[in-house]
Amino acid sequence: MGEPPFRRGAKSPPPRRKKARSMATLCRPAVSVPEHVITMEETLELARSRHPDHPQLPLALRLIENTGVRTRHIVQPIEETLKHPGFEERNNLYEAEAKARVPAVVQRALDDAELLTGDIDVIIYVSCTGFMMPSLTAWLINTMDFGTDTRQIPIAQLGCAAGGAAINRAHDFCTAYPDANALIVACEFCSLCYQPTDLGVGSLLSNGLFGDGIAAAVVRGKGGTGIKLERNGSYLIPKTEEWIAYDVRATGFHFLLDKRVPTTMEPLAPALQDLAKQHGWDASDLDFYIVHAGGPRILDDLSKFLHVPPEAFRFSRSTLTEYGNIASAVVLDALRRLFEAGGAEHTARGLLAGFGPGITAEMALGRWHISENGKQ
């Protein structure tokens, strides 16, 4: 893939704003998924043909069907994905694909936020499906002409919760530095973590659930249309750190998924309610919800325990149906869908949340804000 044309240059003029201090705004995300597609039907047929004698195959097939994932996008054709050339080659492919695909997504996010690379003060990069040191942030700074004083915050071990964590760390940064702008990048190639020797039901389910995707979004310290972030928080369910985990071996990352994970919304819903209560809001009575779609059971239970209608999570369900679980990129893709649906009313109240290893919830509250020029 060729490199996109970057708009380089000095900092853009600051937007005209009222004198009152404003809170950071999470702007419209840009999202990209790879060109190779695998359908639910193809996934089920692969499971049948590759594991015909598996004693729990009927259960695995039923669980995959129940995810509601109709299509997933992957960085390689399925024939290549099913091979395992070794961790080194896979990680090299992760780096090559990230460098080929991330810059164009970053550029779209910057354009949507009406900023240049020189306007960005910190890059928060989240990914749990490959490893690089230095982080891709260093390569982006050099390749796209970000300032050499741009801070770098790579987050590698929060899994699916990292999308919410990135939003929250960007919010924290812009609270500390009110004139600053943060760039969030999520890059997940879950297909590169496929392990053909992992035959547990949880592994077979994961093979039909996770997809690949890249997302980027800007948090502007001042100006912009999107979610004006007001409060964030984190909550960890005690003694659940082994429920979602990687077993790191010579063959790479082996994903471990405990069957109790779908039950985690019962203890996490009160954490969401507590955060809203601290802010004087009722988590059951907000205008929009952008949450990580780990699976349909997660969304169904959150609807039940938060006392909100299932329709409240329609954007998260759409991400799950069309892309599968794209890990840290889910929250940003669900937010993109809200933007594409026309956004929300000015000052509408909403909640964002990502759930992942720990078991951890990264949560944020904010109001929809339409900039003075009215641009969505």
Residue 228 pairs with which residues in a beta bridge?
25, 367
The CA distance from 84 to 296, in Å, is 30
* Residue of 27, 128, 160, 187 marked catalytic: 160
One-letter amino acid for residue 245 of the chain: A
Contact yes or no for 339/28 (Cβ under 8 A) = yes
Amino acid identity, residue 180? A
CA atoms of 27 and 25, how far apart (whole Å) = 6
According to DSSP H, which parts of the chain are helical?
40-50, 57-66, 78-81, 87-112, 136-144, 162-176, 201-207, 265-278, 296-306, 314-323, 330-340
352 pairs with which residues across the strands?
290, 364
Residue type for position 104: A
Question: With the CA atoms of 278, 163, 67 and 98 taken in that order, what torsion angle do they form, in degrees rounded to the nearest 10?
Answer: 180
- Is 160 part of the annotated catalytic residue set? yes
| d(C-alpha 12, C-alpha 146), whole Å | 13
Amino acid at 296: P
Among positive and negative, which fits the CA dihedral 50, 52, 55, 59? positive
Whole-angstrom Cα distance, residue 315 to residue 123?
26
Going by C-alpha positions, the residue among 292, 311, 299 that lies closest to residue 352 is: 292
Measured distance CA(249)–CA(84) in Å, rounded: 13
Separation of alpha carbons 140 and 154, rounded Å: 12
Cα diameter, the chain: 69
Active site residues: 160
